[in-house]
């Protein structure tokens, strides 16, 4: 499948925080160690895939934080899981 012509390079999502969480993802950009190291060598399609994965990781972390906050707001409700 031919790649679509891009007028601008896909910028690195790095935010300059560069610390890893307990799962090994960067706290700033949510990329794995290997994704960060390989960014320069990736083509645009691969970079878009990494950005999609980062977005999914972000949404997952938001849902996890919302669930924890809900459990803190209602401590009388026992967890089923």
pTM comes to 0.74
Q: Give per-residue pLDDT as tens, 54-79.
A: 999 999 999 988 877 766 666 666 66
Rounded to the nearest angstrom, the gap between the alpha carbon of residue 50 and the centroid of all alpha carbons in its chain is 8
Q: Give per-residue pLDDT as tens, 24-57.
A: 999 999 999 999 999 999 999 999 999 999 999 9
């Amino acid at each position: 499948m031919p790649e679509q012509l891009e007028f601008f390079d896909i910028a690195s999502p790095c935010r300059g925080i560069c610390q890893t969480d307990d799962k090994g993802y960067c706290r700033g950009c949510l990329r794995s160690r290997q994704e960060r190291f390989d960014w320069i060598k990736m083509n645009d399609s691969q970079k878009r895939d990494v950005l999609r994965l980062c977005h999914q990781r972000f949404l997952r972390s938001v849902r996890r934080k919302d669930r924890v906050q809900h459990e803190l707001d209602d401590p009388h409700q026992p967890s089923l899981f």
